[in-house]
C-alpha cells in the first residue's frame, strides 16, 4: 500500500464538521468563495482557555482557507466592561500568535447604525416601546409550555413608538422605565422569540462612546447585525446560541437583508476537568481574593497560564488536539498538562535544583577547591551546548534521596551505598550525623575520581541524584502550584454549597529551593526543567536579590490513581 496516498485519504476523512461546511460553501461559491470569521469577546473579564480554543479555531480557519479573521469586541454593556479588559484581550490574542491586522472592531462602532436599523423596524411595526419593568416582562413571558402574555404597550402607534424611542435616546427617562422590544410572537415555543428586548435605558459611561448614549443595544440585537456589517461569512459560536439563531434570522429578514448574510454554526464549548470556565466564576475568585488576580498561575485564564509557564505553541497544540465537537463534553486536564510537558521537554534547558536540602560532605575532596563540570543544556537537542556546573567538597542533595534504613530496591543513598551525582562522580556514603531532634543533618561520603562523568569507569551504580554546590547555589523562592480544585467537576457540589467549596487548599505551597548558579542568567518568563522534579519558569516577581520560580507542571502526572 502506498502510505502517502493513505495519509492524504485520511486527511480528507478527518476534516472536522466546520471544515466540511466551509469547504462545501467554497465549492458552491457562497460569499464569492471567501471565508471571513471573527473572534467576538465581550470585554468584561480576562480570556480563558475556552476562549483560546475559539481564537485558534476562528483564526485557524481563516488561515487555512486564505481568509480573514476580525477581532471584535462585543461591548454592549458599559457597566461590566473596561479598557483594562480590552487591553488584556488584545495582548492575549497576540501572545497566542494571531494577528487581526487593522481589523479591530467594536459593537459600539455600530451603535448609530443599529439605532437606524431599530427605527426601520419600528416604522415597519416590528418593534415597540414597552413600559413594563424587567420583573413584569419576565413574569409575562410564560414558560415553554405556556404562552406569554402580550404587553399592554404592544399595539402603540408607529408615530408614538418613534417619538418615545427618540426621547429614550435623548435621556428623557430614568433607567429601567422603558425598553424597545421586537414584536414577534408571545406564543412562540422558542422563548427567545417572545418579543425580546432590543434596547434598555442605562445612564452609564461607556469606555469608548463616553456619554453619547444612554440606551444600549442588547447582545442579541447587536451581534448578528455586527457580523453582517463586517461581512462575516461564518459566524462560529458555542452551542447555547443555537436557540438564538431563529431570532438572528428574524432580525435579518425584517431588515430585508438578503445577500451576504453570515452563516451561524455552533460547536460545543471547551470544558476542562478540575477547572471552572465561566468568566463570572473567575471574577468571583479574583474579587473574593481566592487567587492573587486574573493572572494567578492557578487560573485557567490565558494570562494565568502564561505566568504559569505555558507557551503559545502548547496551547495551540492543545486546541488542535481537543478537536471540534457538536455535543457538550469534558476534556481531561491531563491533556493540557501533556501538551506543555511535551513542549518543555523539547525546548527547556535542564537545571539542577534541590527543594529540601541535606548537606553532603565529600571527605576525600580537597578543602577550598572547586572544579567546573559540564551539563548538557538539553538532551533532546543534538545541537545543545552545555552549562558550567561548579563542584566542591560540600554540596546539597534532596532529603528524600537519603534513607538511614532503606527498603529493598531503594537505589538512592543510604549508609554504605553508592550513587552517581549527575554530571559528576560516583560517591559512597560512609556515615551521617543527626541533630538534637534526631533529624539527619549531614552525610559524609567518599568520591571516586576515576568515575568522573564522561570517563569510562567500570564502576556501575543504579541511582543518579541531582545536587547543587553549597558555596554558590542560588537560594530562590519556589511556588509549587497545583490544581485549583480538588474535584474533577468543580461545579458539582452538595446542596447549598457552591464551586468554591471544591477549592484545593494546597494549590499553592511556597518554599525555598537551592539552584545551580547557571540559573542566574534566567529572566522573567524563561522556562527550565528542574531535573527529576518538574518544569518551572521565572515569575515576573523575581528581583535582583530574590529569584522566584513557578512550577508549571511536575515531570509526571502525580494525580494518576
Ligand atoms: P463565559 O461563558 O466563560 O463567561 P462568554 O461566552 O460570556 O464566556 P465571550 O466574551 O462572549 O465570553 O466569548 C467570546 C467568544 O469565545 C464567543 O464566541 C464564545 O462562544 C467563545 N467561548 C467562550 N467560552 C468558550 C469555551 N469554553 N469554549 C469555546 N469557546 C468559548
Ligand atoms: Mg458570551
- How is residue 270 annotated by DSSP? P
Distances 97 to 52, 82, 312, 552 between C-alpha atoms, Å? 11, 24, 7, 20
Ligand nearest to the backbone CA of 54: 1
Q: What residues does ligand 1 touch, defined as CB less than 6 Å away?
A: 40-42, 50-51, 53-54, 237-238, 269-270, 277-280
Map grid coordinates 445577500 to a residue: 259
Q: Say how many Å lie between the CA of residue 77 and the centre of ligand 2.
A: 12
Quick: pLDDT tens for 472-510.
999 999 999 999 999 999 999 888 899 999 999 999 999
Annotated catalytic residue 332: no
279 is catalytic: yes
Give which of 413, 536, 517 is closest to 469, Cα–Cα: 517
Residue among 50, 89, 242, 331 whose CB has most ligand 1 atoms within 8 A, to mutate: 50
The count of other CB atoms within 10 Å of the CB of residue 15 is 12
Which structural domains are found in the chain, ordered by start? 34-267 (3.40.50.620), 272-349+477-554 (2.40.240.10), 357-466 (2.40.240.10)
Phi, psi of 469 (to 5 degrees): -75, 125
List strands edge to edge, sheet with 357-362.
464-465, 418-421, 426-434, 440-448, 357-362, 394-398, 468-469
414: pLDDT strictly greater than 50: yes
Q: What's the mean pLDDT when you consider all of the chain?
A: 95
Residue 185: pLDDT over 50: yes
Provide mean pLDDT across the span 529-547.
Answer: 97
Tens of pLDDT along 107-163? 999 999 999 999 999 999 999 999 999 999 999 999 999 999 999 999 999 999 999
Q: Which atom, in ligand 1's list, is nearest to the CA of 53?
A: 29
Annotated active-site residue 269? The verdict is yes
State residue 400 phi and psi, 5-degree precision.
-60, -20
| DSSP secondary structure code for residue 194 in this structure | S
The protein residue whose alpha carbon is closest to atom 22 in ligand 1 is: 51
Largest CA distance in the chain: 102
Q: Which atom of ligand 1 is nearest to the CA of 279?
A: 4
pLDDT confidence tier of residue 14, bands split at 50, 70 and 90 = confident
| Distance from residue 73's CA to the centre of ligand 1 (Å) | 12
- Alpha-carbon gap, residue 453 to 457, rounded angstroms: 9
Q: What pTM did the predictor assign?
A: 0.94
Residue 42 alpha carbon to ligand 1 centre in Å: 9
Sign of CA dihedral 235, 237, 239, 245: negative
- Nearest ligand 1 atom to the CA of 280 is 4
Q: Is the pLDDT of residue 8 over 60?
A: no
Distance CA 321, CA 118 (A): 43
For residue range 94-109, list pLDDT tens digits in order: 999 999 999 999 999 9
How high is the pLDDT of residue 494? 86
Active-site residue identified among 178, 183, 194, 279: 279
Of 208, 216, 140, the closest CA to residue 175 belongs to 216
The three-class DSSP label of residue 79 is coil
269 CA to centre of ligand 1 in angstroms: 8
C-alpha 371/C-alpha 391 separation (Å) is: 5
pLDDT at residue 3 greater than cutoff 50: no
Amino acid at each position: 500500500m502506498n502510505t502517502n496516498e493513505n495519509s492524504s485519504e485520511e486527511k480528507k476523512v478527518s476534516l472536522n464538521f466546520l471544515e466540511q461546511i466551509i469547504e462545501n460553501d467554497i465549492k458552491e461559491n457562497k460569499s464569492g468563495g471567501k471565508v471571513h470569521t471573527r473572534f467576538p469577546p465581550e470585554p468584561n473579564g480576562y480570556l480563558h482557555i475556552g476562549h483560546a480554543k475559539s481564537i485558534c479555531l476562528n483564526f485557524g480557519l481563516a488561515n487555512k482557507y486564505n481568509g480573514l479573521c476580525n477581532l471584535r469586541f462585543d461591548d454592549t454593556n458599559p457597566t461590566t466592561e473596561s479598557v483594562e479588559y480590552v487591553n488584556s484581550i488584545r495582548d492575549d490574542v497576540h501572545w497566542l500568535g494571531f494577528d487581526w491586522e487593522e481589523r479591530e472592531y467594536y459593537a459600539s462602532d455600530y451603535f448609530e447604525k443599529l439605532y437606524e436599523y431599530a427605527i426601520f423596524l419600528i416604522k415597519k411595526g416590528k418593534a415597540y416601546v414597552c413600559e413594563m419593568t424587567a420583573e413584569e416582562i419576565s413574569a409575562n413571558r410564560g414558560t415553554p409550555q405556556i404562552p406569554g402574555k402580550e404587553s399592554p404597550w404592544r399595539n402603540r402607534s408607529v408615530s408614538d413608538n418613534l417619538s418615545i424611542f427618540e426621547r429614550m435616546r435623548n435621556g428623557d427617562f430614568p433607567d429601567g422605565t422603558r425598553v424597545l422590544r421586537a414584536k414577534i410572537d408571545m406564543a412562540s415555543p422558542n422563548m427567545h422569540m417572545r418579543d425580546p428586548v432590543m434596547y434598555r435605558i442605562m445612564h452609564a459611561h461607556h469606555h469608548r462612546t463616553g456619554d453619547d448614549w444612554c440606551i444600549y443595544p442588547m447582545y442579541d440585537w447587536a451581534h448578528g447585525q455586527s457580523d453582517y456589517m463586517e461581512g462575516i461569512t461564518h459566524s462560529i459560536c458555542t452551542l447555547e446560541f443555537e436557540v438564538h439563531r431563529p431570532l438572528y434570522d428574524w432580525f435579518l429578514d425584517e431588515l430585508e437583508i438578503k445577500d451576504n448574510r453570515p452563516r451561524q454554526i455552533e460547536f460545543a464549548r471547551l470544558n476542562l476537568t478540575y477547572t471552572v470556565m465561566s468568566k463570572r466564576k473567575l471574577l468571583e475568585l479574583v474579587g473574593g481574593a481566592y487567587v492573587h488576580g486574573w493572572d494567578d498561575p492557578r487560573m485557567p485564564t490565558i494570562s494565568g497560564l502564561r505566568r504559569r509557564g505555558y507557551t503559545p505553541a502548547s496551547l495551540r497544540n492543545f486546541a488542535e488536539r481537543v478537536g471540534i465537537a457538536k455535543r457538550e463534553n469534558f476534556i481531561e486536564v491531563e491533556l493540557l498538562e501533556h501538551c506543555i510537558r511535551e513542549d518543555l521537554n523539547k525546548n527547556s534547558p535542564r537545571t539542577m535544583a534541590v527543594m529540601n536540602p541535606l548537606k553532603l560532605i565529600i571527605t576525600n575532596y580537597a578543602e577550598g577547591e572547586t572544579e567546573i563540570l559540564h551539563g548538557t543544556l538539553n538532551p533532546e537537542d543534538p545541537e545543545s551546548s552545555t552549562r558550567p556546573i561548579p563542584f566542591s567538597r560540600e554540596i546539597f542533595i534532596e532529603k528524600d534521596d537519603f534513607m538511614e534504613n532503606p527498603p529493598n530496591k531503594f537505589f538512592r543513598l543510604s549508609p554504605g551505598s553508592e550513587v552517581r551525582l549527575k554530571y559528576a562522580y560516583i560517591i559512597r556514603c560512609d556515615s551521617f550525623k543527626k541533630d538534637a531532634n534526631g533529624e539527619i543533618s549531614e552525610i559524609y561520603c567518599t568520591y571516586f575520581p576515576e568515575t568522573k562523568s564522561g570517563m569510562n569507569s567500570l564502576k556501575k551504580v543504579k541511582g543518579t541524584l541531582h545536587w547543587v554546590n553549597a558555596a554558590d547555589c542560588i537560594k530562590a523562592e519556589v511556588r509549587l502550584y497545583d490544581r485549583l480544585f480538588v474535584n474533577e467537576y468543580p461545579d458539582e457540589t452538595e446542596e447549598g454549597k457552591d464551586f468554591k467549596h471544591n477549592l484545593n487548599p494546597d494549590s499553592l505551597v511556597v518554599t525555598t529551593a537551592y539552584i545551580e548558579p547557571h540559573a542566574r542568567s534566567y529572566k522573567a518568563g524563561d522556562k527550565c526543567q528542574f531535573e527529576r522534579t518538574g518544569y518551572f519558569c521565572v515569575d515576573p516577581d523575581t528581583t535582583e536579590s530574590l529569584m522566584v520560580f513557578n512550577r508549571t507542571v511536575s515531570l509526571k502526572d502525580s494525580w494518576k490513581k
